[in-house]
Amino acid sequence: MVSRTKRAGVTKVEAAPAAKPDQSAEKRWRSLSDGLLDRLPLPFAVKVMIVAGIVIGEQVLEQSLAGPQVGATVMSTVVIRLAVPTLVVYMLLMDRFMKRRVVRALVHLRPYVMVDDREYETMARRMVTLPAAVDIGLALLSFVLILALFVLMDSPPPIGGELSMPSDRLAAGYIVSAWAIFGWLGLGLIYTGIQHAAGLGRLARKPLRVNLYDPENLLPFGNISLLHSLVLAGVIVIPILMLGQPSSVASFTLIILNTLGSLMVLILPLVGVYRQMRGAKIGTLNLISNELMSAQEALTKVRHAQAESVADLNARTSALVMLRKTILESPNWPFRSTTAVVRAVVAAMSPLIYFVLIEITRAYLVPVLIR
């Protein structure tokens, strides 16, 4: 139950202690986050090896169809062909890691979100559940997009270079299917990130138990949003490191969309927490300001005050001033400091920043140096 009282024109929120979190919640919510691939009756490591093997086989087929590249060494060819399998393994591992971390964060945040158990359970389920229909829809969407990219637009893959679809239908079907799996994993990672970010945003709009002197209890909001942002940024950083600068329209589009998604999953969960932390800080500062005004009036009105009274008022004023300074220095975000927020935003935009800097260097600096 949440009650509101007013004092000196300031609304103060008083929340009853939250119920003790259910220890079985982590296991219950984790099972709801399983997708189609997670439900296969195989160990996770085996599933990763099977999917990676399918993609490696497709890359070998692509290389055999493309033939040796002019000026390309064996090592550079191997690195190029390992980029997509590396991304596949990365997405599989990060998807599993993110889901587990989010469930743990939900268990940690339960005592600090001032809603009843039934409402919290509903919000948690909505945040972590991946319906089979959505998972199938993402797979179909990926298949359609790959068909449109390779067949209708006759465009090369976004990663790996040129590709001409073979006349053999079996080989063409294998290539399309492998890339559809890759796209499905990517779309699933983006969908999961946005779903989690939106869920954390809904939790952040509920009354929170804010500690002005230590944001430890609300740090999962910042940690999870930053984790999702970095995971999405990694999808771009890996191919840039392995393949160098992108050269196709699809690659440029992927960088922009990935950066926007990375920023969105970072910022959305933080807005509601920021407002409540900032509101709690302003409310407390107003109360301290009123107390300081009262102390000032007492000091100025009393002409023949006793030394003990003056000393008490001075001590009280000094304590209020120190308390006010401490609160002003406390963070407004669910991070240890505002500097950490800036670093998080820069990290989320790192692929785009890196790409822009390289392009500026190539377009303006290199021509000057070679004159």
pLDDT in tens, 287-343: 888 888 887 777 666 655 555 576 777 777 788 888 888 788 777 778 776 677 677
Whether residues 88 and 161 fall in one domain: yes
Final residue before a domain boundary, out of 242, 273, 304 = 273
**Residue 2 within any structural domain of the chain:** no
**Residue 219 within any structural domain of the chain:** yes
Whether residues 145 and 163 fall in one domain: yes
Whether residues 352 and 237 fall in one domain: no
Whether residues 249 and 312 fall in one domain: no
Whether residues 103 and 60 fall in one domain: yes
> Which range is least confidently modeled, 42-56, 140-154, 240-254, 337-351?
240-254
Helix axes 169-204, 219-243, angle to 10 degrees: 150
Please tell me the predicted confidence (pLDDT) of residue 9: 36
Q: Which residues pair with 151 in a beta bridge?
A: none
Q: Is 11 exposed, middle or buried (0-12, 13-18, 19+ CB in 10 A)?
A: exposed
Count of Cβ atoms closer than 10 Å to residue 155 Cβ: 14
Whether residues 155 and 52 fall in one domain: yes
Structural domain count of the chain = 2
Hey, which of 106-115, 206-215, 309-318 has the most confident mean pLDDT? 106-115
**Residue 7 within any structural domain of the chain:** no
| Mean of all residue pLDDT scores within the chain | 79
**Residue 216 within any structural domain of the chain:** yes
pLDDT band at residue 245, thresholds of 50, 70 and 90?
Answer: low
Whether residues 102 and 194 fall in one domain: yes
pLDDT in tens, 18-36: 445 456 777 888 888 888 8
Q: How far apart are CA 352 and CA 266, in angstroms?
A: 16
* More confident call, 327 vs 6: 327
What is the domain extent for residue 131?
21-273
**Residue 124 within any structural domain of the chain:** yes
pLDDT > 80? residue 368: no
The encoded tokens of residue 120 equal 């919290």
* More confident call, 140 vs 239: 140
Please tell me the predicted confidence (pLDDT) of residue 334: 81
Whether residues 260 and 298 fall in one domain: no
Residues 259/349, Cβ–Cβ less than 8 Å: yes
Please choose, from the candidates 186, 241, 245, 231, the residue with its C-alpha nearest in 3D space to the C-alpha of residue 344: 231
Whether residues 189 and 333 fall in one domain: no
Please choose, from the candidates 131, 96, 107, 122, the residue with its C-alpha nearest in 3D space to the C-alpha of residue 24: 107
Final residue before a domain boundary, out of 273, 293, 314 = 273
pLDDT > 60? residue 276: yes
Please tell me the predicted confidence (pLDDT) of residue 168: 82
**Residue 3 within any structural domain of the chain:** no
**Residue 6 within any structural domain of the chain:** no
* Mean pLDDT value across residues 151-169: 71
- Give 165's contacts (C-beta < 8 A, 6+ positions apart): 150, 151, 172, 175
Whether residues 108 and 255 fall in one domain: yes
Please tell me the predicted confidence (pLDDT) of residue 46: 94
pLDDT band at residue 158, thresholds of 50, 70 and 90?
Answer: low
Whether residues 139 and 232 fall in one domain: yes
Query: Residue-wise over 341-360: b if at least 16 C-beta within 10 A, else e?
Result: beebeebbbbbbebbeeeee
